[in-house]
């Protein structure tokens, strides 16, 4: 995988270098094709799977525009977290592009549920996440974590949390041709009773923190930072995606602010950007890695 700079307003674009013809897929909620144990993007028959960790790192480090060239149908899993990507971004640095970043501001509650889990947006002066998980596994049980999002809190609290799963899920993914490089070096793996990894966890709440990592990546597919409180219980890629789709049709529940000269609604225009306590309001790209 190679990550290259992109122009302002280009967003995150994936290019399948192993394919010819129209091999570009934009990171966009409308291009989500599958959410089974990972988020897969697709357009015109071209797919890129397991994009959530890289997308999470882009959002966590404030990168709005980049071109991702990959020579396979799946993003490299690295160590199962977003930390390797964050380290690469730190090493390369980011480039401020001088064009305003628009923000989507939640004004009214929006929620979705599948009977088992739920996810919602609530109004908030900044972007924050409250996430609760519940597994009938003796090593996980119930965990809850609250994050007030910033590049600092993302890097210090979230990006190192590794993906986790059960032996049966690994077998399922590999049967579909995914996670073929999966091992104890890039995931926390549990059997019916315990963690198989000899080194154990990186932190006691690594499970719920990784769910937050995933959610940040999934929500970034909206293509615009969200100012609101994301609350989830027993959610996952599917519900995260359904919430974004519900958000898109519930136009009365949000406004657009920012953009430095872009059109604003009357409500958004009356609210200064600084009041949102958002990440830097200028778009950024990343130099060549």
pLDDT score at 169: 74
pLDDT band at 187 (very low <50, low <70, confident <90, very high): confident
Q: Per residue in 3-33, pLDDT tens?
A: 999 999 999 999 999 998 899 999 999 999 9
Does domain 2-285 sit in CATH 3.40.1160.10?
no
pLDDT score at 266: 37
* C-alpha Rg value of the chain to the nearest Å: 18
pLDDT score at 280: 42
DSSP single-letter state for residue 183: -
Choose among 65, 221, 80, 212: nearest CA to 149: 212
What is the distance between the alpha carbons of residues 182 and 170, in angstroms, rounded to a whole number? 8
What is the distance between the alpha carbons of residues 8 and 185, in angstroms, rounded to a whole number? 36
pTM: 0.87
Contacts of 286 (CB under 8 A, 6+ apart): 3, 5, 63, 66, 89, 92, 93, 94, 95
Cα dihedral sign, 53-59-60-62 = positive
What is the distance between the alpha carbons of residues 6 and 265, in angstroms, rounded to a whole number? 28
DSSP single-letter state for residue 195: B
Domain boundaries, the chain: 2-285
Catalytic positions are 237
């Amino acid at each position: 995988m190679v990550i290259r700079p992109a122009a302002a307003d280009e967003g995150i674009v994936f290019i399948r270098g192993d394919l010819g013809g129209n091999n570009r897929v934009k990171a966009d909620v409308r291009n989500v094709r599958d959410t089974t144990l990972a988020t897969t993007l697709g357009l015109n028959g071209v797919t890129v799977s397991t994009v959530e960790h890289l997308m999470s790192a882009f959002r966590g480090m404030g990168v709005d525009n980049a071109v991702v060239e990959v020579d396979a149908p799946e993003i490299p899993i690295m160590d199962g977290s977003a930390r390797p990507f964050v380290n690469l971004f730190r090493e390369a640095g980011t480039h401020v592009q001088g064009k305003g970043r628009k923000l989507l501001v939640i004004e009214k509650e929006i929620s979705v549920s599948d009977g088992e889990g739920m996810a919602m947006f609530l109004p908030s002066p900044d972007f924050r996440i409250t996430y609760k998980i519940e597994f009938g596994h003796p090593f996980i049980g119930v965990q809850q974590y609250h994050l007030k999002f910033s590049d600092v809190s993302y890097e210090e609290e979230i990006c190192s949390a590794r993906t986790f799963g059960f032996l049966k899920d690994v077998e399922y993914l590999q049967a579909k041709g995914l996670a073929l490089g999966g091992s104890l070096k890039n995931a926390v793996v549990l059997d019916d009773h315990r963690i198989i990894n000899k080194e154990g966890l990186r932190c006691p709440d690594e499970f719920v923190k990784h769910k937050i990592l995933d959610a940040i990546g999934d929500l970034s597919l909206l293509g615009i930072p969200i100012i609101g409180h994301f609350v989830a219980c027993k959610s996952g890629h599917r519900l995260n995606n359904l919430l974004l789709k519900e958000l898109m049709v519930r136009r009365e529940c949000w406004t657009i602010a920012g953009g430095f000269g872009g059109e604003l609604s009357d409500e958004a225009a009356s609210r200064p950007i600084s009041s949102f306590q958002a990440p830097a309001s200028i778009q950024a790209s990343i130099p060549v890695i």
